[in-house]
Every structure is written in structure tokens, then in C-alpha cells.
Amino acid sequence: MREIDSYFGILGDEKTVVIEMAAASGLPLLKNNERNPLYTTTYGTGELIKQALDLGYRKFILGIGGSATNDAGVGMAMALGYKFLDKNGFDIGLGGEKLLSLYSIDPSCKDKRLDECEFSVACDVENTLYGKKGATYVYAMQKGARKEDLSVLESAIINFSKIVYKEFGIDVSSIKGGGAAGGLGAGALIFLNGKLKKELKC
């Protein structure tokens, strides 16, 4: 949650925003000793989206490479008004391990402008949300996780998937690309109604 300067681009049509999540939640923004997907968050990515909404933009291209995170886009969604609660009704907090205590998702305070938006999510991998080829076991150690952290992060993201199914009836467990950027691929689909795309025509 350290404040940084970031940016997004506007295409020549002056209607489409291009956001690279790594500009706010990326691995290169951290020193080696700061890298830890138990704690890193996509919250800053959500702040970029909110800023673009404030400026009147409703069409987005979201690039999801180079992440430092393993929070399934929950931080991003929090910045946009979604509430993620434990069994006692308290906010779970930020970071990949916090998904372990997730019990319910409250979308009632989400930014209503999201319903007016179109999100194309640029994703060049096919990793699923969890499993041997999922977000945690393929990428988390590159982001600073220790071997002993992997089971925690995997259990957390599995719990997230179960709660999403309970709340929204969406099974994101086997979606190709859902595990991209620490699960942001799945998060963008759920919270932004995004479309995962390998190729984009601008």
C-alpha cells in the first residue's frame, strides 16, 4: 500500500483506456526483499481504473502481465467498492493469504459505473486459477513466495473460488487464463465482466 506515481494510456480514438496492471501492482516496483505474494495487492490497479472512470472513460484494455500479486484481483475490486468479508462480517484485508478467511462478497457498494464499461483483458497465458498449472504453483515463487507459502496461497485461492461460486454461481476454477497475474484473470472476469483475449484489435 505504498503510494507510487503511475499512469495509463489513451488510444488514438480518445475513447479507450489502456491500463497495464504492472504499472501499479507489478513485480519491478518492488525491491527483492519486498516481494511476497502473501501481502502484495492489486489495489493500485483498481485505483487506476477508478481514476479513468472519474475522467469519463468507459472502454478499457487491461494488460495483466508482470504482476507481484496472488490475490485474484480482490484488491482491485476493493478499490472499486466491493466488500470482502470474513465469517464475522469484517473486512478480510489485503493480500493473497487473506483470501483464506473470505466468507462472503458484498457487491452492493461497487462503483455503478462499471456496469457501463467494456473491459478487454489482454492475457497471453492459459494457466487456470489453481492446481499444478495454476497461479500459485507456476508463478508465486517468482514473486517471492517460499515453498512453505505455496500451500497457504493455494488454499486461499481455492477458498476464493468456492466463495465466488457460492455468491455468484460462477465456476472460475477451470477458465483458461484465470490464473494469469495471480488470479487477476479470473478477478477481471468476475468483478469487471471482462473478456479474456489473447489477441486484441485496437
Q: What is the pLDDT of residue 138?
A: 96
- Picking from 91-95, 161-165, 198-202, which range would have the lowest pLDDT averaged per residue? 198-202
Identify the band that residue 153 occupies on the pLDDT scale cut at 50, 70 and 90: very high
Which residues, at least 6 apart from 61, have a Cβ–Cβ distance to it below 8 Å? 11, 16, 17, 18, 19, 119, 120, 122, 200, 202
For the chain, first and last CA: distance in Å? 32
> Among 57, 41, 40, which residue's Cα sits nearest to residue 111?
57
Whether pLDDT at 23 is above 60:
yes
The whole model's pTM is what? 0.96
Whether pLDDT at 3 is above 60:
yes
Distance of CA 101 to the CA centre of its chain: 17
CA distance 90 to 83: 9
H helices within the chain, ranges in order? 22-25, 43-54, 74-79, 135-139, 147-168, 180-192
Identify the band that residue 200 occupies on the pLDDT scale cut at 50, 70 and 90: low
Domain ranges for the chain? 9-197
Q: Which whole number is the average pLDDT over 166-187? A: 96
Q: What is the pLDDT of residue 201?
A: 59
Whether pLDDT at 9 is above 80:
yes
> Among 183, 43, 48, which residue's Cα sits nearest to residue 127?
183
Q: What is the pLDDT of residues 73-124, one digit of tens each?
A: 999 999 999 999 999 999 999 999 999 999 999 999 999 999 999 999 999 8
Q: Which residue has the higher pLDDT, 202 or 55?
A: 55
Whether pLDDT at 2 is above 90:
no
CA distance 162 to 83: 16
* Domain at 9-197, CATH class: alpha beta
CA distance 92 to 162: 16
